[in-house]
Chain A
């Protein structure tokens, strides 16, 4: 069981990484893109997610 858990933790770290919001944002953006069939949604969401992610680290610094 612990090996399965360790493998799951490895997969999570490998694919999702330090900030799960980026992965969630990409999945949501792909779903919206599939519904709207519009190219610009994905780059806009990627830009927003990247800003949110890096600036949350920057703002957390004293």
Chain B
């Protein structure tokens, strides 16, 4: 595998791990509190919907000319990645609450417990929460897999990395039967944001007709520069606002 393919596989793996952890927290909270059958029906339905979206968008994306694909998808990836980096900087600076799976699990569990009784048939609450949770987190996985895979002309590699990540998270969630709070999610989000932004910068500029000095090797400079710039911003904000209270930004 080339360096770019390793970058692709690692980025997709980490991104899918984060999204998988968030989806598993929601599914476990609703499943253990209400109805496993309805929850798993919701999970299955969401997976079918995600498969249909992937089947529809995947071939359409890969059919685009490489230049168009890279400028459009590279731009989308860059906007998407900058959202992640922005939130990661705000979290690491103390300006935004850290992502806490234990707290989210407890909140979802209490909401599920307070949502009325569970009847004999399909429980609409369990179904809807599980469906929405898996679909929304899954859409991010699909977006990342398709954009990375299509740009690199290696959707299968991106898909394999995603499947391994999600499988590991599901196995861990089933084994622990609780939120995967020990996964360093905030750090992973920071790293994923840096990777998405770096690849977005690289592919976006190439798609727009620019040529990077050193071609693919430019990524070896872009990734550390984006990381260093993000860390520098965190340090400067922390120094300016040492005891600031986190807010929802």
Contact = CB atoms under 8 A, between A and B. Distances in A.
Interface string B207-248: 111111100001000100100011001000100110010010
B86 A30 contact: no
Contacts of B83: 17-19, 22
A51 interface: yes
Given A22-B83, A54-B86, A54-B233, A42 B210 contact: yes
Given A43-B201, A50-B233, A58 B71 contact: no
Contacts of B213: 39
Interface in A1-60: 14-19, 22-23, 26-27, 30-31, 33-34, 36-39, 41-43, 46-47, 49-51, 53-55, 57-58
Given A15-B80, A27-B75, A58-B241, A33 B210 contact: yes
A26 B240 contact: no
A47 B197 CA distance: 11
Contacts of A39: 205, 210-213, 218
Contact of B249 (A14, A38, A57): A57
A50 B85 contact: yes
A42 to B, nearest CB: 4
Kindly state the interface size class of chain A when it binds its partner.
20 to 34
B89 A54 contact: yes
A55 B143 CA distance: 28
A14 to B, nearest CB: 7
A55 B95 CA distance: 10
B204 A26 contact: yes
A22 B75 contact: no
Contacts of A41: 205, 210
A46 B241 contact: no
Interface of A: 14-19, 22-23, 26-27, 30-31, 33-34, 36-39, 41-43, 46-47, 49-51, 53-55, 57-58, 61
Nearest 10 CB-CB pairs, A to B? A17-B83, A33-B208, A39-B210, A34-B208, A42-B205, A37-B209, A23-B79, A57-B249, A22-B82, A58-B237
Given A15-B80, A37-B209, A58-B237, 11 more contacts: A14-B140, A16-B79, A19-B86, A31-B208, A33-B210, A37-B208, A38-B210, A41-B205, A42-B204, A43-B205, A50-B230
